[in-house]
Amino acid sequence: MSKVLAFDFGASTGRAILADYSNGKLTYSEVHRFDNNLTEQNGKLCWDFKYLLGEVKKAIGMVSDADSLAFDTWGVDYGILDKNGKLISLPVCYRDERTKNIPEEIYKHITPEKLYEKTGNQIMPINTLFQLKAETEVNGDIFLFMPDLFAYCLCGAKTVEQTIASTSQMLDLENVKWQKDIFALSEKDEKLLPEIVKSATVAGEYNGIKVIKVAGHDTQCAVCAMPSTNDKISAFLSCGTWSLIGCENDKPILTDKSMNDELSNELGANGKINYLKNISGLWLIQEIRRNFKAEDKEYSYNDMEQLARKEKPFGFFIDPDDPNFATPGGMPEKIRDFCKKTGQKIPNADGELIRCIYESLAMKYKYAIEQIESNTEKKFEVLHLLGGGTKDTFLCQMAADSLNIPVIAGPTEATALGNIMLQLIALGDIKSVDEGRKIIREQEKTVTYYPENAKSFSDGYKKFKQIIK
| Residues in CB range of 375: below 8 A, 6 or more apart | 253, 255, 257, 258, 261, 263, 275
| Residues in CB range of 440: below 8 A, 6 or more apart | 225, 227, 411, 417, 421
| Residues in CB range of 397: below 8 A, 6 or more apart | 407, 449, 452
Single-letter amino acid code for the residue at 454: A
**Angle value at C-alpha 23, between 17 and 27, nearest 5 degrees:** 20
| Residues in CB range of 175: below 8 A, 6 or more apart | none
Provide DSSP, 320-371: TT-GGGSSSS-HHHHHHHHHHHTTPPPP-SHHHHHHHHHHHHHHHHHHHHHH
Single-letter amino acid code for the residue at 33: R
Of 8, 67, 96, 218, catalytic? 218
Give CA–CA dist 99/102, Å, rounded: 5
User: 393-403 and 301-309 are packed helices; what angle lies between their axes, rounded to 10 degrees?
Assistant: 40
- CA 269 to mean position of chain CA atoms: 15
Give CA–CA dist 365/373, Å, rounded: 12
Bridge-based pairing state of the strands 273-280 and 264-267: antiparallel
Give CA–CA dist 291/287, Å, rounded: 6
At 378 the three-state DSSP class reads: coil
Is 322 annotated as catalytic? Answer: no
Query: Rounded to the nearest 5°, which phi and psi values hold at 385?
Result: -95, 120
At 286 the three-state DSSP class reads: helix
| CB contact at 8 A, 127 and 183 | no
Q: How many CB atoms lie within 10 A of CB 329?
A: 10
At 467 the three-state DSSP class reads: helix
Q: Which one, of 257, 265, 235, 227, lies nearest residue 403 by Cα?
A: 235
**Strand runs (DSSP E) across 36-146, as ranges?**
38-41, 44-47, 68-72, 78-81, 142-145
* Active centre residues (catalytic): 218
